[in-house]
Amino acid sequence: MTSGTSAAPNTGPSAAAPASVSFPAGFAWGAATAAYQIEGSATADGRTPSIWDTFSHTPGKTLGGDTGDVAVDHYRRRPDDVALMAELGLTAYRFSVSWSRVQPTGRGPAVQRGLDFYRGLVDDLLARGITPALTLYHWDLPQELEDAGGWPVRETAERFAEYAALVGEALGDRVEMWTTLNEPWCSAFLGYGSGVHAPGRTDPVAALRAAHHLNLGHGLATQALRSVLPARARLGISLNPSAVRAKTEDPADQEARRRIDALANRVFSDPILHGHYPADLLADTVRLTDWSFVSEDDLTAIHQPLDFLGINYYQPTVVSSPGPDAPTGPRSDGHGASDHSPWPGSEDIVFHPAPGERTAMGWSVDPTGLHDLLMHYSAEAPGVALYVTENGVAYDDKPGPDGAVHDPDRIRYLDGHLRAIRRAITDGADVRGYFQWSLMDNFEWAYGYSKRFGLVYIDYETQERTPKSSARWYAQAARSGELPPLP
């Protein structure tokens, strides 16, 4: 992402906001979740451990030792959850498939009971007029495949393509929107670099190898899906690109921005969209690896035509060069505390909080970064539709004395980001839909259940679901295609 060359002050989500903002007919009003974060029933019906089961059960890896064993019990409450989605006016729902529920060892035939769950989910959605958007991989690699080397090895990409074909054959008659990977940056660099995510490895070379094999997995799975899905299927990938901004116009800070742009963004978008790795990234990492694990055939396999690109956006990234007085040791970049950097070869770069108000994650609220990204990828991938496949916010929501959960800050956040999307559409970007993260409060990875991103509040003692006021506001937007007034 090369736009946004310096950290401009945030003018606020609703600055100079027009009174009424409407969206094109057919715009998807969605919400998103992921299997490990909501399903629970971790050992039901033949499911085996994924890397997140192993990681979350390892002492010290998640806040309070929280795990996804029960999560929000969606595996057993699926029909009621889909009814709630309909009540909230959603026109689309993005979910992920748990690989180890469908193919427990990561190889061989599919388990019918696992597939039946997703078939039932899709049928429930379709019966209520909600478009299913299926993600094949949201970070939960079967543990057996991690034991065989994980994403740093080529075989995992090949296994992923086989799994994609199994799911494609089972659900291709009823699901049109398919996403291969969710946020491969997190899988590679938080999973194998800083180790704050599963499988918790801290090896910068393994992180780069994982990035490549995730790209390869995407390409091979896309080919496999195209061979089993009907022609009407639409295929894409969800990236979490950073809107990277340099702290100042100083050339050293611009150079820091270039380096992080390569590692955060172009390591994925260049091979996927253009069929090569960025030359500057190869140079930046030369003391770690010669990238000989990449072949020309791999690049051809990765560079597949896409029907859409999913953009997941939360906050901009502001960086500067270390400068002569910079402290040594890992720099905080908002991705969790670790003694190991998730930025191989660029460990010294300094990350700064972006200006603006903060969320419960400590992330800054700045919808301009979303507009920048949509305009950037619109220009970089002409003819490829864009979806915002994740955007949302954690606040410390609590029921009031009346039992209702009032979250006006989340409404302002949604309003600001939806306005940024509308501006991008007006400016020429082909944005087809928005998936709010998340439908309901859930297991927020290393933060356990301490961070609430949902439109729907979950009482974790009783599993009672209470739509927050933001859910009602969003439902009104979804039904009218127009942003309702702020409360």
**Sequential DSSP letters for 108-169:** SSPPHHHHHHHHHHHHHHHHTT-EEEEEEESS--BHHHHHTT-TTSHHHHHHHHHHHHHHHH
Ordered DSSP codes for 330-373: PPP-SS---SS-SSTT-TTPEEEPPSS-B-TTS-B--THHHHHH
Question: Binding to ligand IFM by residue 312, rule CB under 6 A?
Answer: yes
- Out of 390, 407, 415, 441, point to the residue binding ligand IFM (CB under 6 A): 390
Show the tokens assigned to 202. Answer: 């801290």
Q: Which is nearer to ligand IFM, 41 or 182 (CB)?
A: 182
Window 56-95: contact mask with ligand IFM (x via CB under 6 A): ----------------------------------------
Residue 140 found at the interface with ligand IFM (CB under 6 A)? no
Q: Which residues are catalytic?
A: 183, 390
Residue closer to ligand IFM (CB basis): 95 or 277: 95
Distance CA 203, CA 24 (A): 46
d(CA 321, CA 302): 32
Q: Pick the closer one to ligand IFM by CB: 146 or 183.
A: 183
The yes or no reply on residue 441 touching ligand IFM (CB under 6 A) is no
Cβ 300 to ligand IFM shortest distance, Å: 29
Ramachandran assignment for 64, one of left (phi > 0), alpha (psi -120 to 50 degrees), beta (any other): left
Among residue numbers 206 through 265, which ones bind ligand IFM (CB under 6 A)?
none
Distance of closest approach, residue 141 Cβ to ligand IFM, in angstroms: 14
Q: How many residues sit close enough to ligand IFM to count as binding (CB under 6 A)?
A: 8
Considering all CA atoms of the chain, what is the largest pairwise distance in Å, rounded to the nearest integer? 62
Site residues for ligand IFM, 27-46, by CB under 6 A, read 34, 37
Distance of alpha carbon 431 from the chain centroid: 17
Q: Say if residues 105 and 144 touch (Cβ distance below 8 Å).
A: yes
- Give the nearest distance from C-beta 53 to ligand IFM in angstroms: 16
Quick note: the x/- pattern for ligand IFM over 360-389, rule CB under 6 A, is ------------------------------
Site for ligand IFM contains 444 (CB under 6 A)? yes
Q: Select from 406, 402, 418 the least CA-distant residue to 457.
A: 406
Q: Per CB under 6 A, does 183 bind ligand IFM?
A: yes
Residue pointed to by tokens 């690049």: 299
Binding positions for ligand IFM, rule: CB under 6 A? 34, 37, 183, 312, 390, 437, 444, 453
